[in-house]
Homo-oligomer: A and B are copies of this chain.
Amino acid sequence: MLPSERHAIILNEVSRQPAVSIRTLTVLMGVSRETVRKDIETLAHQNKLQQVRGGATGILTQEPSIEDRSQTNAAGKARIAEFVVRQIPDGASIMIDCGSTTLAVAKRLAETRNGLIIYTNDLKIAETIAPATRELTLFGGRVVVSEMATHGMETIENLTRYRAEYGLIGVGGLSERALFTDFTREGANLRHQMMLHTELPFVLADRSKFGVIGQVVMKPLPLAATIVVDEALPQQIANATDLAPHRVCIAN
């Protein structure tokens, strides 16, 4: 039994089960405890699995990134993600905006769908959803390092060449006075263009966005846009007349 064979077996085991014990592996492969332990050590060093006392577990793809925004109202974002994913079938073409809310949807899509055709300007989303794609297109341009996403004129130029069935679009804020707002002109412009280039744009706003007013007011949404929130809109916002023509869905 070659080392590489053993490695393949171990990786196969941890991929099928949450964890494997060294003991199990020794009888399975007919080598000593110590050998198995060192194999696991090697593989752990390569980030192929995680070494734990008595054996190994699969790598936890959930890296605890310093993304504080992803933590904000994570439960609400997960509910929105679950709701939106139910509307989208395998093989759909989707344009995905950057942001923590859309990232939550991308994660869920990666887990439950495949053969997708994806367009995005967010590097992290691209990486997350890559395994579930048939085609993956990244809009080029200047990278805003704090968001790890491309923005600007060139990005929009890139974007306007494409058209997708579904759109997943975030917002900076959603308030009574200004309705949809964003923090940068470039971001607002990009999001608006995304909505224009998708058949069914979903505008995602978890409750941490309620009452937030950004510096840039967004143009009125296309009529096809569906607004998805994780709890009922505050009365003042819901009454805003400009919101009336749009479908508002509460994910739960």
Query: Residues of A at under 8 Å CB distance from B?
Result: 1-5, 8, 11, 18-19, 21, 46-47, 52-55, 57, 61-62, 67-68, 71, 123, 126-127, 130-131, 133, 135-143, 145, 148, 150, 154-155, 158, 161
Contacts and interface: CB of A to CB of B under 8 A. Distances in A.
Count of this chain's copies in the oligomeric assembly:
2
A160 to B, nearest CB: 12
Contacts of A130: 143, 145, 148
Contacts of A135: 142
Given A52-B4, A57-B4, A140 B142 contact: no
A8 B57 CA distance: 11
A212 to B, nearest CB: 22
A98 to B, nearest CB: 12
Nearest to A46: B67
A5 to B, nearest CB: 5
Contacts of A143: 126, 130, 133, 136-138
Given A8-B18, A123-B123, A130-B148, A3 B140 contact: no
Nearest to A135: B142
Contact of A158 (B5, B47, B140): B140
13 contacts: A2-B52, A2-B57, A4-B55, A4-B57, A5-B18, A8-B62, A11-B62, A46-B68, A123-B126, A123-B138, A130-B145, A136-B145, A140-B155
A71 B42 CA distance: 13
A55 B53 CA distance: 24
B123 A54 contact: no
Nearest to A48: B67
A131 B142 CA distance: 14
A135 B151 CA distance: 12
A139 B158 CA distance: 10
Contacts of A62: 8, 11
